[in-house]
Structure 1
């Protein structure tokens, strides 16, 4: 397979893997740490009104989702691209990191 095609494929697969991890953790966080009772988080106005009621525990899963999604996506992209010492092999991983 030509290197350019392999690297583009690595980029797409890395973005998909990182996005899947990100969304999974966001959904899991909403189940494990529900919003404060009586808050409406479905609209921007409701979320803005509820934000002062959120504690630090409500921000752990969004942080983990973005951090681990980026890590997994970049690792998958680097693996598919054939990680090595050459800078040309590393650009899919860097692109995934920049995207997230």
Structure 2
């Protein structure tokens, strides 16, 4: 029964897929001008780490609070931006999907 629910188009798998897709859209519109956001390619800004490598630096879940409160870095070209909590969750889901 659990396996059927997991494969169901209205079950948890599709909710995860929607969240990942929303996160990819957020990354494309907010981050892609500097970061490589996909599984391949170099970042347009060479100092911006590719998203697919972030999990090797730290747990991407640790970004959730920063994304919701206004992420800032020591790098002067990184703009400060703030996401709604559900948007931050979606972006984290997308980053997690790149770990596979």
> Where on the TM-score scale, by shorter chain, does this alignment land: which range?
0.3 to 0.5
Of the two structures, which has the highest relative contact order with CA contacts closer than 8 Å and spacing of 6 or more?
Answer: 1
Larger Rg: 1
**TM-score, normalising length: structure 2:** 0.38
More helix by share: 1
